[in-house]
Amino acid sequence: MKKLFFLATIVSIFTACVKEGPQGRAGEDGSFTVYNFTSAAADWNGGTYVEYPCPIITQSFIDKGIVLVYVQDEFGYWNPCPSVWHSINGFSYSSEIIGLDATTAPTIGHNVRVVTMNERALLEVGDPSKYTYQELMNKLSAK
For residue 94, give the 3-state DSSP assignment: coil
pTM tops 0.85, yes or no? no
Residue 121 in domain = yes
In tens, the pLDDT along 85-126 reads 555 555 555 544 456 777 777 778 888 898 989 888 888 888
Number of domains making up the chain: 1
What is the rounded distance in angstroms from the CA atom of residue 124 to the CA atom of residue 64? 14
Q: Any residues with CB less than 8 A from the CB of 19 and at least 6 apart, and which?
A: none
Establish if 91 belongs to a structural domain: yes
Across 33-42, 59-68, 80-89, 116-125, least confident range: 80-89
Task: Answer whether residue 54 is part of any domain.
Answer: yes
Evaluate whether residue 9 is within a structural domain: no
Asked if residue 38 has pLDDT above 50, the reply is yes
Q: What is the structure's pLDDT at 59? A: 82
Q: Is residue 137, in this structure, part of any structural domain at all? A: yes
Half-sphere exposure of 33 (CA within 13 A, CB side): 13
- 93 and 102 Cβ atoms separated by less than 8 Å: yes
- The pLDDT value recorded for residue 137 is 92
**Exposure b/e, 54-86, CB count within 10 A at least 16 = b:** beebeeebeeebbbbbbbbbeeeebbbbebeee
Q: What is the pLDDT of residue 36?
A: 92
Residue 103 lies in a domain: yes
Distance CA 105, CA 83 (A): 17
Per-residue pLDDT, averaged over 70-86, amounts to: 76
pLDDT at residue 28 in the model: 65
Span 77-89, average pLDDT: 68
Residue type present at position 124: E
C-alpha–C-alpha distance, residues 29 and 23, integer Å: 17
| pLDDT above 50 (res 127) | yes
Domain housing 57:
32-142
Spatial contact of 52 and 101, defined as CB atoms under 8 Å apart: no
23 in any annotated domain? no
Is the Cβ–Cβ distance between 114 and 38 less than 8 Å?
A: no
Coil vs helix vs strand at 51: strand
Is 90 contained in some domain? Answer: yes
